[in-house]
């Protein structure tokens, strides 16, 4: 067992020693006696301090020492250290949508994990997996995030600091490009050793062939002009429908539901319409005046990806993932008047909005240099390389503080009872002396 804040316990030991010492230094009324010339004795308080060979009031002393030690130990936050092994692994298991075969993932994780290893499942977030759930990992629809997983691995490494002499990092993932972000390399560099990369099969959507961008709209729809321009400038693959929804599903191709006047899918009418000066999607920025009629409530966004935002941050278009493709809901009004539909920034915006499903792009495997950076070099990481965790909580601390509180109450009652007894004996003794005199 060790303490997170040992200073409190050391202080409690000192206080307990002082309490014991004070119980040997007895301050009480000494033996009473009669002296007719007592008036010549200096008028001092009628108590005297004396050193005793045995502590006064042993039960009360023990109670107080226990109280102080319990309070000190509670504030010192004791934790019970597990026995330390030679080697432990931190296994990052990718359960994002990039994984095609969850069974293969489970097999890989099971092959590398041992009883004292830490398994962390990650998609867009990372969380530790209980030992009995290692064989039952399920892939999610959300995008994987290796940066979050690596941060969780660092935290787990600090947690393994007291359980193993060296720690190894194992990443079981298809290593799709969507799981890498700008911070991944920096965070990976914080792990001071090599990582074992175990690649599992990625989702096959990555290789599906898709037709080019097209729009299904009534004749004279101004957005058709923009789509025509976007087809020639970029290589979008989406299908824009201006009314109703399309049943045509091409793997990896985005179906963009961009109604003219109807309520977009997942959106609700705004309480008050307003006007906003621009929107953006994947780096394409449009500066124009738009009247906002619809808004996406949080419930709609929960299972969706935001693909376009108004310049104040509100979602302007969201993507609902499908089994093999996706559906995008766009709440951007397109005015028939004005030059918006032929402006270059709007054309780029439509092209960006009509790109492949996020799930489609996610499955692209990272290149070899990126994999090398993820693998790193060096050996196993010694335990000293990890800083001790600062967020470790002590399960015993609340109980010890509670015990101290209970002991404090008991001490109060015991002390009062002792005081009453001493007062009673003193009064009896005084009366007896007077009568004897």
Contact flag: residue 280 with other proteins (CB under 8 A): no
Q: Which is nearer to other proteins, 52 or 287 (CB)?
A: 52
At 313 the three-state DSSP class reads: coil
Chosen residue from 33, 59, 283, 390 binding other proteins by CB under 8 A: 33
- Least Å from the CB of residue 419 to other proteins: 18
Chosen residue from 25, 50, 111, 392 binding other proteins by CB under 8 A: 50
Contact 176, 146 (CB under 8 A): no
Number of residues forming the site for other proteins (CB under 8 A): 31
Contact flag: residue 46 with other proteins (CB under 8 A): yes
Q: Which is nearer to other proteins, 42 or 313 (CB)?
A: 42
Part in contact with other proteins (CB under 8 A); list of ranges 32-40, 257-265, 372-380, 415-423: 32-40
Q: Which two tokens stand for residue 345?
A: 């920034």
Contact flag: residue 44 with other proteins (CB under 8 A): yes
* ∠ Cα 166 3 129 (to 5°): 50
Part in contact with other proteins (CB under 8 A); list of ranges 29-37, 153-161, 168-176, 399-407: 29-37
d(CA 144, CA 362): 9
Residues of this chain, 416-435, that bind other proteins according to CB under 8 A: 428-435
Contact 226, 350 (CB under 8 A): yes
Q: Which is nearer to other proteins, 41 or 130 (CB)?
A: 41
Q: Inter-axis angle of helices 344-353 and 222-233, to 10 degrees?
A: 80
First-to-last alpha carbon distance for the chain, in angstroms, is: 63
Contact flag: residue 436 with other proteins (CB under 8 A): yes
Bridge pairing between strands 305-310 and 315-321: antiparallel
Part in contact with other proteins (CB under 8 A); list of ranges 30-38, 122-130, 347-355, 385-393: 30-38
d(CA 362, CA 102): 17
- Least Å from the CB of residue 427 to other proteins: 11
Contact flag: residue 36 with other proteins (CB under 8 A): yes
Burial state string for 223-254 with b = 16 or more CB within 10 A and e = fewer than 16 = bbbbbebbbeebebbbbbbbeeeeeeebbbbb
Part in contact with other proteins (CB under 8 A); list of ranges 40-48, 182-190, 209-217, 302-310: 40-48
Contact flag: residue 45 with other proteins (CB under 8 A): yes
Helix (H) or strand (E) holding 279: strand 268-281
Residues that bind other proteins (CB under 8 A): 29-48, 50, 428-437
């Amino acid at each position: 067992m060790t303490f997170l804040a040992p200073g409190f316990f050391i202080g409690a030991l000192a206080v307990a020693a002082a309490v014991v010492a004070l119980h040997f230094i007895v301050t009480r009324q000494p033996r009473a006696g009669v002296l007719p010339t007592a008036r010549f004795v200096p008028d001092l308080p009628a108590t005297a301090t004396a050193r005793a060979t045995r502590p006064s009031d042993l039960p009360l002393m023990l109670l107080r020492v226990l109280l102080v030690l319990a309070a000190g130990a509670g504030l010192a936050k004791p934790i019970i250290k597990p026995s330390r092994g030679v080697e432990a692994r931190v296994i990052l298991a990718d359960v994002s949508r990039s994984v095609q075969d969850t069974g293969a993932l489970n097999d890989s994780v099971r092959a590398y994990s041992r009883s004292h290893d830490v398994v962390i499942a990650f998609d867009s977030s990372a969380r530790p997996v209980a030992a009995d759930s290692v064989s039952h990992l399920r892939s999610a629809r959300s995008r994987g995030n290796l940066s979050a997983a690596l941060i969780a691995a660092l935290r787990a490494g600090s947690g393994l600091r007291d359980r193993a002499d060296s720690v190894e990092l194992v990443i079981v993932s298809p290593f799709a490009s969507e799981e890498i972000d700008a911070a991944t390399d920096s965070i990976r560099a914080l792990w001071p050793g090599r990582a074992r990369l175990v690649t599992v099969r990625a989702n096959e959507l990555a290789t599906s062939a898709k037709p080019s961008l097209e729009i299904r709209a009534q004749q004279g729809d101004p957005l058709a002009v923009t789509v025509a321009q976007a087809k020639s400038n970029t290589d979008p693959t989406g299908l824009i429908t201006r009314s109703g929804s399309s049943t045509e599903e091409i793997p990896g191709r985005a179906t963009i539901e961009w109604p003219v006047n109807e309520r977009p899918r997942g959106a609700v009418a705004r309480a008050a319409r307003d006007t906003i000066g621009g929107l953006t999607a994947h780096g394409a920025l449009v500066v124009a005046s738009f009247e906002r009629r619809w808004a996406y409530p949080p419930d709609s966004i929960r299972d969706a990806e935001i693909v376009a935002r108004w310049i104040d941050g509100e979602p302007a278009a969201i993507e609902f993932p499908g089994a093999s493709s996706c559906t995008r809901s766009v709440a951007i009004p397109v005015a028939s008047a004005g030059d918006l539909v032929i402006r270059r920034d709007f054309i780029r915006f439509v092209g960006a909005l009509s790109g492949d499903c996020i799930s489609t792009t996610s499955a692209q495997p990272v290149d070899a240099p990126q994999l090398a950076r993820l693998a790193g070099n060096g050996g196993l990481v010694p335990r000293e390389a990890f800083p001790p965790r600062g967020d470790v909580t002590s399960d015993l601390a609340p109980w010890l503080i509670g015990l101290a509180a209970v002991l404090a109450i008991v001490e109060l009652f015991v002390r009062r009872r002792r005081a009453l007894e001493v007062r009673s004996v003193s009064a009896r003794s005084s009366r007896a002396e007077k009568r004897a005199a």
